[in-house]
């Protein structure tokens, strides 16, 4: 478990492979929860967030999947909650 500078908890579980960070389960202090699958060309992020957050780079509520390239640029998304 990690603790942020302001004392909030940030529990994570990570698995690495020969190329580095491969899989993470994460619960952020802003309420975001997700699974991050890291690959050679980017990361697939599956999960949910109640408000604007860093993990999914969302501006509001998000439930779904996003794919980011290695530069952190959003390539593809599917937001289940989008009306």
Higher pLDDT among residues 4 and 14, named by residue: 14
Predicted TM-score of the model (pTM)? 0.84
Phi, psi of 56, deg, nearest 5: -105, 0
> For the chain, which residues make up each domain, given as ranges?
2-79
Closest CA to 45 of 10, 78, 83, 2: 78
pLDDT at 70: 94
pLDDT at 82: 63
pLDDT digits over 10-27, tens only? Answer: 888 999 998 888 999 999
Contact (Cβ atoms closer than 8 angstroms) between residue 70 and residue 60: no
Q: What is the C-alpha separation between 47 and 15, in angstroms, rounded?
A: 18
pLDDT at 11: 87
pLDDT digits over 31-67, tens only? Answer: 899 999 999 999 999 999 988 888 999 988 999 999 9
Percent helix, strand, coil in the chain, to 5, is: 0, 60, 40
Pairing outcome for strands 62-69 and 74-79: antiparallel
């Amino acid at each position: 478990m990690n603790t942020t500078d302001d004392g909030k908890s940030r529990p994570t579980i990570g698995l690495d492979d020969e190329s580095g960070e491969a899989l993470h389960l994460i619960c952020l202090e802003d309420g975001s929860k997700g699974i991050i699958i890291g690959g050679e060309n980017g990361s697939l992020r599956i999960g949910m967030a109640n408000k604007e957050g860093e993990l999914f780079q969302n501006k509001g509520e998000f439930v779904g999947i996003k794919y980011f390239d290695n530069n952190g640029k959003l390539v593809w998304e599917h937001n289940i909650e989008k009306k």
